[in-house]
Structure 1
Amino acid sequence: MNIFTWLNDQLLKMKWLWDLVELLVEKVFGLSMGTRVGDSIHFFIYDTIKIFVLLIVMIFIISFIQSYFPPEKTKKIIGRFKGLKGNIFGALLGTVTPFCSCSSIPIFIGFISAGLPLGATFSFLISSPMIDLASLMLLMSFFGARIAIAYVTVGLIVAIIGGIFINKLKMEEYVESYVWDVENVDIEIEKMSRKDRVKFAKEQVKDIVGRVWPYILVGVGIGAGIHNWVPQSIIERILGEGNSFSVLIATFIGIPIYADIFGTIPIAEALITKGVGIGTVVSFMMGVTTLSIPSLVMLSKVVKPRLLATFVAIVTLGIIIVGYGLNGFSFLLIQ
């Protein structure tokens, strides 16, 4: 256990980095820890470096594994599963694709045009931006294994159940007709050497980090502001467990925001330190990543209003139920 604790502290939580940044703030910047300015600068530098390091490492590993499963191969695999199995596989597939909600929609179109079940494709569409392996490692680093596993588990449940409901409603007619007509060409899968896979992984790191870095910086900046400048009493009054509408407020605050999960984690960290319930924070994160306005605008070009409204209603209800449920069982998650 001592070895595990040490590895967890040094590799995931990066305690060595915390100490190094603390030394930088006090000795180089001449600021005292414990002051608002000193703590804010420490929060910003430490969280930014930590997130980028973990993000780069995890995306490289995940992308290297992904190189064995190109889209053409994935379509063939998922096409073998029907019903509940299709929803489960679609949701699990979303966890290994480090895409934001907007990036997931072109893949969603490809799955539909390939004739894959509508419910399974929506399970993928829900889970892909909400959860992935890189975010799991970041969540473990910031909040511990219990909360990280709980987040991924409830995210998968929302994705699977959401896909099942859409499948049961038989809403294929509410997908825009041009989507069904998109030509689906089977491309011969090229065999990649190890060197090619490493190159692919590096390109993925460059592409994804290049797209999400502004959201990370903004998220860390907001987190530093909440953590050190917003009085705890205000946060608790709006989002604290004493407010029975806290989950609803957090969900609807998160929906209009467009950000990747990596940008929401430092905000979530600051909210938890201010006494906000874990379920409320999870609802905020899921609202931001899954139901952002830009992604809904893009999706509206693919599906008709009735299906879009059904998708939003199902996911929003799922997020709210998850939030209240996790708040009720938070005693099992706080280590």
Structure 2
Amino acid sequence: MADTTLRTAGQRAALRSLWGNQRVWLASAAILAILAVFDPMQAADSAAFAGAALLKTAPYLLLSIGIAAWAGATGADNLIAKAFTGAPLLMIIFGALAGGLSPFCSCGVIPLIAALLAMGVPLSAVMAFWLASPIMDPSMFVLTAGVLDMQFAIAKTLAAIGLGSFGGLVVHLLARGGALSNPLREDIGNGGCGGSKVREPKPVVWRFWQEAERRTKFGREATKTTLFLAKWLTLAFLLESLMLAWLPAETVTSTLGGEGLLPIITATFVGVPAYLNGYAALPLVGGLMEQGMAPGAGLAFLVAGGVTSIPAALAVWALARPQVFALYIALSLSGAFVAGLLFQLWNMA
């Protein structure tokens, strides 16, 4: 009986793992299957659209994959530990830069943040990193430039760093007034594998190809990143094809296009429930902008959606007390709106 129970539990765990790894591919397959039954012409058009879009972005995909694999193989993500030493204001700036520019370990942001807070790193610096990290990294920059354009990629990078710096400064001022003195939930540990990068940062090995273990890690990271990007972009391009086919351009233009504050406010709040994934959101925003979405609204959507997406928000909720989580959301939405507004003004100048 015990063996049977163990086998059944193991089978359930295997099925959960399979579903977790393949659900995005299955979603793409389901979309094409449903279209094939009810609208065969659209099924063919969507498949062709996704294939052509993937081919067009292939050079940027390869560069993005190479950057991610290189960071893992060399240990460049260890450099993030250096961002959290120094004077408080410098730590805020470097925390925002680390979150917006540096790739960090695949162990995930939750253990890393837990380690930083448990070790006594000020919440202001951690919040700067926390706000900036979901928005931009080197791989995201390359793909944003390829799918949208270089100006948008630069604007998104500046928005990530600016939001992180702004959020860190707000938290710093609140902390000086005595607020947020105990940000972590009870029973939060020291961060595990993610925290080790802060506690004991290892030197970066730039010539990783000279070590067999690092060469293997490069291949492993490249394969993992390739599969990750391929599944999300395939789904995103399929959804973009349907959006272009079924969503009237005049509806997008009237809701999210034009000048003024309303399109940016709308995009900021729509980005919270509508955001899928940082990479998947790029083609969707590109399609909306082709139909008349204002550039500032597009940036607000990407920034708000990235910071408040389910994985990013759950990371904050899992670690921080409710008041810190509420502050995180408020900073995210206000920062996304300001970023979108400034980008819109820049495009109008």
1:117 aligns to 2:122 (yes or no): yes
1:191 and 1:163, CA in 2 relative to 1: closer, same or farther beyond 3 A? Answer: closer
Distance 2:314 2:262 in 1: 27
- Asked if 1 retains the 8 angstrom alpha-carbon contact of 2:306 and 2:312, the reply is no
1:43 aligns to 2:45 (yes or no): no
Q: Compute the displacement of 1:97 (Å).
A: 4.3
1:159 and 1:73, CA in 2 relative to 1: closer, same or farther beyond 3 A? Answer: closer
1:310 aligns to 2:327 (yes or no): yes
Distance 1:201 1:233 in 2: 47
Distance 1:121 1:188 in 2: 17
Q: Compute the displacement of 1:182 (Å).
A: 5.5
- Letter of the 1:219 partner, please give it: A
- Letter of the 2:148 partner, please give it: F
2:244 is aligned to 227
- Asked if 1 retains the 8 angstrom alpha-carbon contact of 2:115 and 2:189, the reply is no
Q: Deviations for 1:266-296, whole angstroms, at most 9, x for unmatched residues? A: 0011011111111101111112221013432
1:169 aligns to 2:199 (yes or no): no
Within 5 A, what are the aligned runs for 1:169-188? 169-170=174-175, 171-179=180-188, 186-187=199-200
1:57 aligns to 2:63 (yes or no): yes
CA-based RMSD: 3.1
Q: Compute the displacement of 1:235 (Å).
A: 0.9
Within 5 A, what are the aligned runs for 1:136-285? 136-170=141-175, 171-179=180-188, 186-187=199-200, 189=202, 193-194=208-209, 195=211, 196-241=213-258, 244-257=261-274, 259-285=276-302
- Letter of the 1:48 partner, please give it: L
2:27 is aligned to none
Secondary structure at 1:328's aligned position in 2? helix
Secondary structure at 1:175's aligned position in 2? coil
1:101 and 1:125, CA in 2 relative to 1: closer, same or farther beyond 3 A? Answer: farther
Q: Compute the displacement of 1:94 (Å).
A: 1.8
- Asked if 1 retains the 8 angstrom alpha-carbon contact of 2:99 and 2:133, the reply is yes
Q: Compute the displacement of 1:257 (Å).
A: 3.9
- Asked if 1 retains the 8 angstrom alpha-carbon contact of 2:257 and 2:292, the reply is yes
- Letter of the 1:85 partner, please give it: L
1:181 and 1:43, CA in 2 relative to 1: closer, same or farther beyond 3 A? Answer: closer
Distance 1:143 1:156 in 2: 20
- Letter of the 2:325 partner, please give it: L
1:229 and 1:277, CA in 2 relative to 1: closer, same or farther beyond 3 A? Answer: same
Secondary structure at 2:133's aligned position in 1? helix
Distance 2:105 2:313 in 1: 12
Distance 2:73 2:105 in 1: 19
Instruction: Please give the TM-score of this superposition, normalised by the length of structure 1.
Output: 0.77
Q: Deviations for 1:74-120, whole angstroms, at most 9, x for unmatched residues? A: 42x22323222212211221234457999322221222233322111
1:230 and 1:206, CA in 2 relative to 1: closer, same or farther beyond 3 A? Answer: same
- Asked if 1 retains the 8 angstrom alpha-carbon contact of 2:80 and 2:102, the reply is no
Secondary structure at 1:176's aligned position in 2? coil
Q: Compute the displacement of 1:36 (Å).
A: 7.5
Distance 2:281 2:104 in 1: 15
Distance 2:152 2:200 in 1: 41
Secondary structure at 1:249's aligned position in 2? helix
Structure 1: gaps (5+ residues): 1-34
1:100 and 1:222, CA in 2 relative to 1: closer, same or farther beyond 3 A? Answer: farther
- Letter of the 2:267 partner, please give it: A
Distance 1:191 1:95 in 2: 20
Alignment coverage as a number of residue pairs: 297
Secondary structure at 2:269's aligned position in 1? helix
Structure 2: gaps (5+ residues): 1-40
| Matching residue within 75, 79, 85 for 2:84 | 79
